[in-house]
Amino acid sequence: MIIINKEYIKFTKKMKKDYTILIPNMLPIHFNMVIRVLESYGYKAKMLENEGHSVVESGLKYVHNDTCYPAILVIGQFIDALKSGSYDTHKVALMLFQTGGGCRASNYVSLLRKALIKAGYGYVPVVSFSLTGLEKHPGFKLTIPLLHKLMYAVTCGDLLMSLYNQCRTTETERGQSKALLDEWTEKIARGMRTVGPLRYEKIKQYYNQIVRDFDSIPRRNEKPIKVGIVGEIYVKFSSLGNNGLEQFLVDEGAQVCVPGFLDFCFYCIYNSIVDKKLYNMTKLPLFIYKFAFNFAKRKQQDMINAIKQNSNFEPMTPIDRTISLCDGYINLGVKMGEGWLLTAEMLELYDSGTKNIICTQPFGCLPNHICGKGMIRPLKERMSDINIVAVDYDAGATKVNQINRIKLMLANAKEQEIEKSDKKQPALV
Amino acid sequence: MINTITATKQNTEKTTDNMSNDISILSVGIDIGSTTAKIVITRNAEVIYEKYERHFSKVRNKLLEMLYDAREILENESFTVAISGSAGFGLAQSINLPFVQEVFVVGKVINALEPDTTTVIELGGEDAKIIFFDGGTDERMNGSCAGGTGAFIDQMASLLNITVDEMDKLALEHKKIYPIASRCGVFAKTDVQPLLNQGAAKSDIAASIFQAVVNQTIAGLAQGRKITGKVLFLGGPLYYCKGLQQRFKETLKLSDSQAVFPEYARYAVAFGTAIYARECADIRDFDGLCSDIEKSLNDKPIISALPPLFASEQDYEKFSQRHSKSDVPHRDISDYSGKSFLGIDCGSTTTKIVLLSENKEILYTYYSSNRGTPVEIIKEQLNEIYKLCGDRITIAGSAVTGYGEELVKNAFGVDIGVVETIAHYTAAKYFCPKVDFILDIGGQDIKCFKIKNGAIDSIMLNEACSSGCGSFIETFAKSMGYEVPDFAQQGLFAPAPVDLGSRCTVFMNSSVKQAQKDGVSVGDISAGLSISVVKNAIYKVIRATDVSELGENIIVQGGTFLNDAVLRAFERELNKNVIRPAISGLMGAYGCALISMKCTESSIITRKALENFTHTSKTAVCKGCTNHCTLTINTFEGGKKFISGNRCEKGLGSLSNAEVLPDLYEYKLNKLASYQGGSSKRGKIGLPMALGTYELLPLWYGIFTNLGFEVVLSGASTRRVYEKGQFTIPSDTACYPAKLMHGHIIKLMEEGVDAIFYPCLTYNVNEKSADNHYNCPVVAYYSELLSGNIDGLKETGFLYPYLNITSPKVLASGLRKSLCQKFGEIPAGEVKRAVKAGLEQYKNYMADIRKKGESAIEFAKKTGRRIMILAGRPYHIDSEICHGINKLATSLGFVVVSEDSICHLAKMPSVHVLNQWTYHSRLYRAAKYASQHSDVSLVQLVSFGCGVDAITTDEVRRILESNGKYYTQIKIDEITNLGAVKIRLRSLLGALEMNER
């Protein structure tokens, strides 16, 4: 349990009634459902959608400029929203999702509080939401049923994201997969609002229907180039962080593969198991982590089964497989930032046939020196046809350079594709 | 130049045969780079036309012009055409032509022309690329950083005030290479400028600049891959600069046959694009294409614009009138007689001189670019002044400030040397006695200081990653074909200044590039740059969150503020009127002249002596200590010598009478070096002297010697050690201490040890004063990166177990497992005992350091010395990392202690951030200690690229400032610019002294 500062503004029970909790838009699909779950427990919540220059500007103004880009964006987005006049600043709270551990990202909450004080919003409560520990807020409690529902928000979000990405490039009617995605997000969200425990059977039914629905979208019979996106969690998922990377790739005719958010949850739980093994240090008894890990594993397997039974879509890689792929590349003890998971996801993508990978990171990201850029060479050594490009994101990097690098990667991918088909059909001389 | 590619026609045909249906059709390849446009026209895969020109950012106009030049060829038949190049993307889109990625295209060309090439290195205006062909094609290009490219070379040449061509010729005559950083032009300038000011030979500097480009290419792009075999060099800079070619050949150790500098170096991309055009077979005709481009000239740029600086001429009129009031009295030198006082400001890029009468009237001023040789300029100027003075006026006092202070003081016998900050404050007070904030933007540095109670309260200088200084605007103006005043003029009434944001200049470079690409006018770019410079100063250097916190009475000065566009942008941003003295560019010199008025008689060089004045310089390496400073020895008339470049007084040969002050950095370094040796009963274990080893060496030494291993250390870091490992660094933005690790590992591999040991430590020692005791990710897991990126390391035996040093039991079992795998069975009991001994050793070491810290403080108190806490990380004591700053501090009279030697003397203050790293928590306690003692100052050393310090610096600053102490931060990386550090430390000293008075 990490308690950062003893004097933070608490989110009280009274606030629960009339305060709106603002949430940054890191993972729009998932967070939309998270909001509905929170609503079912009596909270008011809203996902921020403000983008553009003023967000970055506010971030640069209130956060140390050498801090990682995600902090600048997330905090910039909050402050920009507070300043916009769209909210009664005395009736909002901010919720920040963050990782713990030795990465500087664990300081986001304190950086946000500092920035709020500087900007004159010191009275706005901040609720930090972290899988490794939580501050005490009388008005905000993570109960087991709540956590349970949140987990389904994550699995459903992953499933929708994966299928949507597998359809959007080749759909014959533009916008059809997006419409289906929105429809399902809404439907699940509504389902989440039920008071009381959730019936897992219903969720599983959802899984099957979702897969069948996406499979029924008419798609062109072509094989687009598959491009995987891995990296620091914020710039990997957030279009605000990566300058709309997914859309760019789709426009270029590529199919995007983004390993899901559940992997990250696995990673967080698994690190506690490894800590016990390596250092004999744990916060809770080991069996709790093992239970949670196995529980989530079963849920992942149900999703994989739903995909396999109902369609030809590519399923997620089971977490055990993902973990085993690290062997010989990186130790599972690397647990700061995205740690071993980042390397694992590159391996997982290659393993499942996605050989073109964009490794995204904020400029100067410390863990990524090691788990991202530092692993590219060993990966290439053993998999000569892996095509990885590392792209840095920060407030100053212009899109031209990023696009240039990505285009180069795509050009290589296309050439590889041609070479491959050449080999299959020997030229008639 | 025509037909340079035909020699290899055979090859080309082979590959193009199956590409196009009709190879007799004309093909046009257009390559639009960041600074130049290239066009190649082929028929039958043979080049029949080629042209290479600078486009000065007027991409569309230039292309049109070039097409018209080739009208004769293109007019009468249709052709295929494609575009490539970093600035070609937008153009291709708007006129609907096929676009192809330029690196990809180079690959095509090589396949066609030089198929046995293993590596291609291509440098362009702002791009740098390496393409590897052996063992799987791999192509790399520079990311968001434009250092080490053609633009960088241009910038450096203009700094030396010579053309690129002249610089190239000079480079071939070099005798010596200085280390120069090329990651960004700003850094390199901070390296080059002191060399110039110290009088280093231009030929050596020129070659060093090329070497910097080479190093950047290797470190930044090769990223661990060795460059061997046949290497093809492409692009403009590599075609024109023989000196650069030479540096590449020597550095990569290539023979003549391995290094190919082809005639078509500049056209490769355009040629490849022509090949690509044929494949695409997008048929166009001349008139249609030209009219499409013409139409696109009117495309409305989609770029965010800011309000104009001045809405009308009247606005500008009022503004000019208001500022004209801040002036000083002048007097015609020809009708004055009596005493006069001379002030010289020998700045980084300009030299300023002011001569005052006894009544503080200005008699004479001078302001000009250094053109690299300040000594010559000042000699000229003194001659001029003596001529004007005649027998009527005597020089009764003189003072000098700025980068060249010491050199000028010694060369000409100037009476007083003044720290820049004090000189400027003195001058500012004349204009506004109540001044509480001074901002000076000069050629390449931004200085600002707050004044409280008549003393300088805080000083901020731009750090290594500086942005938005005057010379940036200058370079940009020049690159677009303007002089600065004209460029500024263009911006004054620009209707829609482009929003370039507030970031480091290199990045701004690419923002500007993008704006140009989008067709933004010169005026709007000029105004946009002025606004950016201002924003950088306010939000990046001063780091103000609210402009009102700057102060009430603000004086702005420095040459850059002579630019009305910058001044206006500043007032706009502040929403407040400020004072710009009419002598804005001369304030340092003016302040010096005022200070020199306390002299009664001057020791300055006499008219007679000046006539015989000569100056030569040569370089030497100081052997006084392991720093091996590069010294520049200036010899003046009569054999008088001045040595610069040294960190301490040793090189001057005056050590004998100088008192040696306690220096914990020095002490720790020596102490740690003693932890090596032992019997090698079980084998030899090598420990890299980098990162965490600087903390835990006593622990490992205790354990290993106890187990019968000999401990071999990799020794002191040097530039050479860094270069040894440079090839293997995968992430260029990692901190310098991490990058040094590579060289140390390779050194150990060469020593022939049985195993190299650098464990992964998620958790560091628990000093029980913080929320947690992590290492930073780099210190904790760097071994994972080393293992994957250094060839042969695994074979040497690299042990990097995950250990928990906070529990003897877990430590012993983890360590034993790892050792047994390599060295066979070692009894558990033995390891346990060794661990116990090791922990004891570490405890003793820390106790000793603390005791030494206490006695240093005691010494200072007894002798009335000031104490400086040089606060960083344990590995900052590495002399290659801290560049001898500790010695500089002792030479200024400070007793130097390290953060870990005194932090036990203070309680952990309450901090507003997550206090979870062991090393960093010491910083907070050290800051607390400094804030409790009036004779203690804290200077924080921060490695460039250290992400964690983005958090600690603000917190350390807060702890100090909330207790009324100065906060001084020094950012360090591979560059060695002690000149700037010296100014900071002297300013700090000056401020401390002023406060006491």
Chain A CA closest to residue B730:
A374
pLDDT value of position A105: 74
ipTM of model: 0.91
CA dist A184 and A156 (Å) reads 9
Residue type, position A335, single letter:
K
What whole-number percentage of chain A has pLDDT above 90? 55
> What is the interface size between A and B, counted as CB pairs within 8 Å?
217
Contact between B947 and A364 using a beta-carbon 8 Å cutoff: yes
Q: At B14, is the pLDDT very low, low, confident or very high (cuts 50, 70, 90)?
A: very low
> Minimum mean pLDDT among A415-424, B346-355, B981-990: which range?
A415-424
Whole-angstrom CA distances from B318 to A405, B315, B324, B571 are 49, 5, 10, 14
Q: Is the pLDDT of residue A66 over 60?
A: yes
Tokens of residue B517, six digits: 């690409």
Task: Estimate to the nearest angstrom the gap between the alpha carbon of B904 and the chain centroid.
Answer: 35
Chain B CA closest to residue A338:
B777
Q: In what order do the strands lie in the sheet with B437-441?
A: B455-461, B446-452, B437-441, B554-557
CA dist B599 and B502 (Å) reads 44
Q: At B701, is the pLDDT very low, low, confident or very high (cuts 50, 70, 90)?
A: very high
Contact between B802 and A399 using a beta-carbon 8 Å cutoff: no
Could you tell me whether strands B554-557 and B437-441 are parallel, antiparallel, or unpaired per DSSP bridges?
A: parallel
Report the 10 Å Cβ neighbour count for B13: 14
- Write down the number of H helices and E strands in chain B: 38, 31
Which of A110, A384, A407 is opposite residue B101, by nearest beta carbon? A407
Helix (H, G, I), strand (E, B), or coil: what is residue B400?
strand
Which B positions 321-350 lie with beta carbon below 8 A of chain A? Answer: none
Mean pLDDT of chain B: 84
pLDDT value of position B407: 85
Helix (H, G, I), strand (E, B), or coil: what is residue B940?
strand
Q: Is the pLDDT of residue B523 over 80?
A: yes
Q: At A425, is the pLDDT very low, low, confident or very high (cuts 50, 70, 90)?
A: low
Chain A CA closest to residue B945:
A364
Which of A3, A60, A366 is opposite residue B539, by nearest beta carbon? A60
Interchain contact B514–A (C-beta under 8 A): yes
| CATH architecture, domain defined by A13-141 | 3-Layer(aba) Sandwich (3.40)
Q: Is the pLDDT of residue B606 over 50?
A: yes
> Minimum mean pLDDT among A33-42, A129-138, A243-252, B880-889: which range?
A129-138
Which A positions 269-328 lie with beta carbon below 8 A of chain B? Answer: 275, 278-281
Chain B CA closest to residue A105:
B948
Residue A11 CB partners (closer than 8 Å, separation 6+): A19, A93, A125, A127, A137, A138, A139, A140
Return the higher-pLDDT residue of B775 and A99: B775
Which of A67, A113, A370 is opposite residue B781, by nearest beta carbon? A370
Interchain contact B525–A (C-beta under 8 A): no
Contact between A279 and B802 using a beta-carbon 8 Å cutoff: yes
- Short-list B387, B382, B333, CA closest to B362: B333
What whole-number percentage of chain A has pLDDT above 70? 93
Strand boundaries in A87-135, DSSP class E? 92-98, 126-130
Helix (H, G, I), strand (E, B), or coil: what is residue A76?
helix
Q: At A427, is the pLDDT very low, low, confident or very high (cuts 50, 70, 90)?
A: very low
Do B752 and B900 form a contact (C-beta atoms < 8 A)? no
Query: Can you tell me the mean pLDDT for B647-662?
Result: 56
Contact between A396 and B917 using a beta-carbon 8 Å cutoff: no
Tally of residues, chain B = 997
Residues of A in Cβ contact (< 8 Å) with B777: 102-103, 336-337, 366-367, 369-370
Q: Is the pLDDT of residue B3 over 90?
A: no
| CATH architecture, domain defined by B849-996 | 3-Layer(aba) Sandwich (3.40)
CA dist B649 and B272 (Å) reads 58
Do B539 and B465 form a contact (C-beta atoms < 8 A)? no
Helix (H, G, I), strand (E, B), or coil: what is residue A46?
strand
Interface test with B, best of A8, A111, A121, A369 (most B CBs within 10 A): A369
Return the higher-pLDDT residue of B552 and B634: B552
The topology under which CATH files domain A223-259+317-420 is Rossmann fold (3.40.50)
Q: Is the pLDDT of residue B170 over 70?
A: yes
The topology under which CATH files domain B333-432+593-611 is Nucleotidyltransferase; domain 5 (3.30.420)
CA dist A164 and A162 (Å) reads 6
Interchain contact A134–B (C-beta under 8 A): no
Report the 10 Å Cβ neighbour count for A321: 14
Q: Is the pLDDT of residue B579 over 90?
A: yes
As a whole number of Å, the CA-based R_g of chain B is 31
Q: How open is the CA angle B128-B130-B135, to the nearest 5 degrees?
A: 170
pLDDT value of position B642: 78
pLDDT value of position B13: 40
pLDDT value of position A424: 58
Q: What is the DSSP letter of B77?
A: S
Contact between B804 and A281 using a beta-carbon 8 Å cutoff: yes
Which B positions 80-99 lie with beta carbon below 8 A of chain A? Answer: 86, 89
Query: Can you tell me the mean pLDDT for B103-114?
Result: 82
pLDDT value of position B128: 82
Do B679 and B712 form a contact (C-beta atoms < 8 A)? no
pLDDT value of position B31: 93
- Short-list B732, B759, B741, CA closest to A331: B759
Which of B785, B814, B947 is opposite residue A104, by nearest beta carbon? B947
Distance from CA of A56 to the nearest CA of B (A): 10
Longest dimension (CA), chain A: 81
Report the CATH superfamily, name and number, of domain B6-114+269-296: ATPase, nucleotide binding domain (3.30.420.40)
CA dist A418 and A412 (Å) reads 10
Q: Is the pLDDT of residue A19 over 90?
A: yes
Which A positions 319-378 lie with beta carbon below 8 A of chain B? Answer: 329-331, 333-337, 363-371, 373-378
Residue B755 CB partners (closer than 8 Å, separation 6+): B683, B684, B685, B686, B796, B797, B798, B799, B822, B823
Interface test with B, best of A408, A409, A410, A419 (most B CBs within 10 A): A408
Q: Is the pLDDT of residue A356 over 90?
A: yes
Q: What is the CATH number of domain B120-261?
A: 3.30.420.40
Interchain contact A147–B (C-beta under 8 A): no
Query: Can you tell me the mean pLDDT for B479-500?
Result: 86
Do A410 and A356 form a contact (C-beta atoms < 8 A)? yes
Contact between B223 and A377 using a beta-carbon 8 Å cutoff: yes
Residues of B in Cβ contact (< 8 Å) with A107: 913-914, 951
Return the higher-pLDDT residue of B518 and B761: B761
Return the higher-pLDDT residue of B809 and B104: B809
Contact between A396 and B507 using a beta-carbon 8 Å cutoff: yes
Contact between B784 and A330 using a beta-carbon 8 Å cutoff: yes
Report the 10 Å Cβ neighbour count for B592: 36
pLDDT value of position B462: 64
Query: Can you tell me the mean pLDDT for B860-876?
Result: 95
- The 3-state DSSP composition of chain B as helix, strand, coil percent (nearest 5) reads 50, 20, 35
Interchain contact B730–A (C-beta under 8 A): yes
pLDDT value of position A109: 86
Chain B CA closest to residue A274:
B802
**pLDDT for B389-420, tens place per residue?**
988 999 999 999 987 888 888 889 899 988 88
Which of A62, A370, A392 is opposite residue B785, by nearest beta carbon? A370
Return the higher-pLDDT residue of A284 and A208: A208
Which of A68, A109, A401 is opposite residue B510, by nearest beta carbon? A401
Task: Estimate to the nearest angstrom the gap between the alpha carbon of A80 and the chain centroid.
Answer: 23
List, in sequence order, every residue forming a beta bridge with B400; answer none if it has no partner.
Answer: B344, B417
CA dist A177 and A94 (Å) reads 32
pLDDT value of position B810: 94
Domain positions in chain A: 13-141, 223-259+317-420
**pLDDT for B291-338, tens place per residue?**
888 887 765 545 577 888 998 889 999 999 999 888 889 999 988 999
Do A325 and A353 form a contact (C-beta atoms < 8 A)? no
Which of B104, B144, B776 is opposite residue A102, by nearest beta carbon? B776
Return the higher-pLDDT residue of B140 and B753: B753
**pLDDT for B253-304, tens place per residue?**
899 889 999 988 889 999 999 988 888 778 889 998 898 888 877 655 455 7
**pLDDT for A385-408, tens place per residue?**
899 988 888 876 666 667 877 888
Whole-angstrom CA distances from B767 to A53, A236, B286 are 43, 36, 76
Domain positions in chain B: 6-114+269-296, 120-261, 333-432+593-611, 437-578, 615-657, 667-845, 849-996
Return the higher-pLDDT residue of B989 and B580: B580
Do B890 and B648 form a contact (C-beta atoms < 8 A)? yes
Contact between B100 and A403 using a beta-carbon 8 Å cutoff: no
CA dist A374 and A379 (Å) reads 10
**pLDDT for B735-744, tens place per residue?**
999 999 999 9
For tokens 């200058």, name the residue.
B474
Q: At B932, is the pLDDT very low, low, confident or very high (cuts 50, 70, 90)?
A: very high
Interchain contact A9–B (C-beta under 8 A): no
- Note whether B120-261 and B333-432+593-611 share their fold: yes
Residue type, position A392, single letter:
D
Residues of B in Cβ contact (< 8 Å) with A415: 104
Residues of A in Cβ contact (< 8 Å) with B738: 369
Contact between B738 and A376 using a beta-carbon 8 Å cutoff: no
Q: Is the pLDDT of residue A322 over 60?
A: yes
Q: At B891, is the pLDDT very low, low, confident or very high (cuts 50, 70, 90)?
A: confident
pTM over 0.90: no
Report the CATH superfamily, name and number, of domain B437-578: ATPase, nucleotide binding domain (3.30.420.40)
pLDDT value of position B845: 97
pLDDT value of position B640: 74
Contact between B778 and A4 using a beta-carbon 8 Å cutoff: no
pLDDT value of position B17: 41
Which of A61, A374, A407 is opposite residue B788, by nearest beta carbon? A374
CA dist B709 and B838 (Å) reads 13
Which B positions 912-971 lie with beta carbon below 8 A of chain A? Answer: 912-914, 916-917, 945, 947-951, 953-954
Q: In what order do the strands lie in the sheet with B968-972?
A: B894-898, B866-871, B936-943, B968-972
Interchain contact B859–A (C-beta under 8 A): no
Residue B699 CB partners (closer than 8 Å, separation 6+): B805, B838, B839, B841, B842
